[in-house]
Amino acid sequence: MIGPVDSSQVPRYAGPATFARLPRLDQVAHADVAVVGVPFDTGVSYRPGARFAPSAVREASRLLRPYHPGLDVSPFERIQVADGGDIAVNPFHIGEAIETIEGAAADLQRDGTRLVTIGGDHTIALPLLRAVARIHGPVALLHFDAHLDTWDTYFGEPYTHGTPFRRAVEDGILDTEAISHVGTRGPLYGKKDLEDDRRLGFGIVTSSDVMRRGVDETVDALRQRIGSRPLYVSIDIDVLDPAHAPGTGTPEAGGMTSRELLEILRGLRGLNLVGADVVEVAPAYDHADITSVAASHVAYDLVSLLSLKEGQ
User: Binding site for Mn(2+): which residues?
Assistant: 122, 145, 147, 149, 236, 238
- DSSP letters spanning 12-49: TTSS---GGGPPBGGGSS--SEEEEEE---TT-SS---
Spatial distance between the Cα atoms of 281 and 271, rounded to a whole number of angstroms: 26
- How far, rounded to the nearest angstrom, does the alpha carbon of residue 19 sit from its chain's CA centroid? 15
Whether cis (ω within 30° of 0) applies to the bond prior to 120 is yes
Which residue from 181, 246, 190 is spatially nearest to 210, judged by alpha carbons? Answer: 181
Annotated binding-site positions? 122, 145, 147, 149, 236, 238
Residue 239, phi then psi, degrees to nearest 5? -60, -25
Q: How many CA atoms lie within 13 A of 155 on its CB side?
A: 7
Residue 29, phi then psi, degrees to nearest 5? -70, -35
